[in-house]
Amino acid sequence: MNAQRYFRPNVQALQPYVPGRQAAPGKTIKLNTNENPYPPPPAVVEAIRQAAGGSLNRYPDPLASGLRMAIAKTLDLPGPEWVLAGNGSDEILTLLVRGLVGENQQLRLPTPSYILYRTLADIQAAQWDEVPFEPDWSLPDSFWQSDPNVRLVMLPNPNSPSGSVVAPEEIEQRSQDLHCPLLVDEAYADFADSNCLDLVRRNEHIMVSRTFSKSYALAGVRMGYLVAQPSLIEQLIKIKDSYNCDALAIAAATAAMLSQDWLSDVVAKIRTTRERMWSRLQEMGFDVLPSQGNFVWCTHPSARHAWMHEQLSQSQILIRYMNYPGFGDGLRISVGTDDQIDACLMMLQRLVRQCEVTS
């Protein structure tokens, strides 16, 4: 007997999202999942210790009120009612699709971008309307065209894998043509030159999601949040799990949000290393996009990207190989520490030389 038959047809048919490879602790240089290479703020460890010694036999605050207040104060929002905490920003994305996109309705998204968006639509028995980026990673007019069957638009900004951004001014102007909410996924916004928080204050239909996994170095904690006007937050609270964020994660994220000096220092380090990566990869002959994230996307004229990825993996250096129909393949390399990046660049230089010899 095949137990799969008990599941809804759309669940049986969907292709699950596959996360980046997680290596066992050791000597592996991990540059494949855009994690922060630095330890989290010292205050986080103490906050977790105190929370663990407290009332773990009790349920956590169902609304993570202290965290929401800390986020609202730090981001200069009118109040905590503008914030919804989630079990990673992935839960925020899930709640939005669950609440806004019904069966056979559409979720619009650009491509190439975060593949999980499509999976969330598939789970919902909804459709996804993918609009390809232009060759220069700008968005075509069709992305902004209104369609009564499109119930939600998701825009990763900065985008992955490209690291490109759509200017907030363009987002605000063009989104007026949409007759549905727009979610700007700002997982990497702390590494960028601009963000869309001001748009949320002025536009009821624009929302921003963020995560503690990247800039705050809390990928192992699973905490994210949504910034939106209170009327939207109120509806989403209805459909979230009762206690969707655990006490340790809430404590860790609150301490991280209050560690803005630490954040400034670490972001500055990552941006400096990112620029050095960009320059060195160009010197090796790679085509490298200017990135606003904590990673770079690069391609080489030899087009031997899968081979380079495999050779690096055999040397215990993990990066992400990606292949997109219509866009081709390439390598996404997360920004690590300077020592990690030096090791990766040295190995890539050897591989490029091999390509040149065999071409």
> Within a 13 Å sphere around the CA of 214, how many CA atoms are in the beta-carbon half?
27
Q: What is the pLDDT of residue 26?
A: 67
- Specify the pTM: 0.94
For residue 223, what is the DSSP state?
-
Per residue of the chain (359 residues), give pLDDT as tens.
687 776 888 887 777 766 666 666 668 999 999 999 999 999 999 999 999 988 899 999 999 999 999 999 999 999 999 999 999 999 999 999 999 999 999 999 999 999 999 999 999 999 999 999 999 999 999 999 999 999 999 999 999 999 999 999 999 999 999 999 999 999 999 999 999 999 999 999 999 999 999 999 999 999 999 999 999 999 999 999 999 999 999 999 999 999 999 999 999 999 999 999 999 999 999 999 999 999 999 999 998 999 999 999 999 999 999 999 888 999 999 999 999 999 999 999 999 998 876 76
With 0-12 CB in 10 A as exposed, 13-18 as middle and 19+ as buried, what is 174?
middle
Q: What is the pLDDT of residue 2?
A: 80
For residue 322, what is the DSSP state?
E
Q: What is the pLDDT of residue 327?
A: 87
Distance CA 357, CA 141 (A): 44
Q: What is the pLDDT of residue 20?
A: 62
Spatial CB neighbours of 209, under 8 Å, sequence gap ≥ 6: 89, 92, 93, 183, 184, 185, 186, 187, 224, 225, 226, 227
Q: What is the pLDDT of residue 164?
A: 97
Distance CA 348, CA 311 (A): 9
